[in-house]
Amino acid sequence: MNKAEMILENLAFCSQRPFIESVEDGVARLSGRQNDLEVIHVWIESLDRSCLREKECFHIERYKRMTRLDEWIHRNLIDNEKYRQYLDKYRPQRDKLEYEDIDEYIMNRHYRPRAVAMLKKQKKNFRMEDWTRPRRGLNYERRSNLTLRDGLEYRFDFRGPLETFFVLKEDGLKKILAVGGFGSSGRRLNYTLFTAVFHLLGKRKPIRHHLIVYDRFNRFKFFKSYTRPLVAIWLGMNYPLDQRLIAEIRKAGVDFSKVQERFPAIG
pLDDT single digits (tens) 164-212: 999 999 999 999 999 999 989 999 999 999 999 999 999 999 999 999 9
Average the pLDDT over each of 4-18, 21-35, 188-202 and give the range with the smallest value.
4-18
DSSP state string for 91-159: GGGHHHHT-S-HHHHHIIIIIHHHHHHHHHHH-TT--HHHHH--EEEEEEEE----B-TTSPBP---TT
Q: How many Å from the N-terminal Cα to the C-terminal Cα in the chain?
A: 18
What's the one-letter identity of residue 254? V
pTM value is 0.75
Number of helices followed by number of strands (H, E) in the chain: 11, 10
Its sign, for the CA torsion 150, 155, 160, 162, is positive
Encode pLDDT of 95-111 as tens digits.
888 888 999 999 999 99
Q: What is the mean pLDDT of residues 152-159?
A: 91
Determine the Cα–Cα distance for residues 193 and 178; give it in Å rounded to an integer.
Answer: 10
State which of 12-21, 127-136, 141-150, 254-263 shows the largest mean pLDDT. Answer: 127-136
